Amino acid sequence: LSQFDSSRWLHNLSALIGAASFVVANINKHGRPVLVHCSDGWDRTPQITTLAEIMLDSYYRTIDGFQTLVQREWIAFGHKFGDRCGHGVGANDPNERSPVFLQWLDCVYQLFI
């Protein structure tokens, strides 16, 4: 349990859901356009934008919508699944490993429970 606590997993989930909620509030309540771009655009950007899309549009809360979202925002935009999971060309570089997609899936789960 202490390894889990030291990973700050729940803190990171909270930060991601909070960022997505900020996007949603600016779009829904204030009618403002929002630009989301993280340092490299590979990791945090799709996490935040896809969570916001799920919150904003009930279509993305369906199986077809969820599949569309993953295909468009993660696969088509080139998320580094292999590197982040430790199975790609960069698999030998521990700095490339990060559970970005799993973190996002946990956020989606948290939204639905």
Confidence (pLDDT) at 69: 96
Gap between the Cα atoms of 12 and 48, Å rounded = 12
Confidence (pLDDT) at 88: 61
Confidence (pLDDT) at 107: 98
pTM metric for this prediction = 0.85
Gap between the Cα atoms of 102 and 90, Å rounded = 18
Confidence (pLDDT) at 13: 96
| Residue 74 in marked binding region | no
Nearest C-alpha neighbor of 37 from the set 77, 75, 96: 77
Gap between the Cα atoms of 61 and 50, Å rounded = 11
Q: Which of 24, 27, 34, 38 is catalytic?
A: 38
Confidence (pLDDT) at 37: 87
Gap between the Cα atoms of 95 and 86, Å rounded = 10
Active site residue 38: yes
| Residue 38 in marked binding region | yes
Confidence (pLDDT) at 4: 85
More confident residue, 3 or 95: 3
pLDDT, tens only, 31-90: 999 999 877 666 889 999 999 999 999 999 999 999 999 999 888 887 776 676 667 665
**Residues 60 and 69: beta-carbon distance below 8 Å:** yes
Residue-range domain boundaries for the chain: 2-112
| Residue 40 in marked binding region | yes
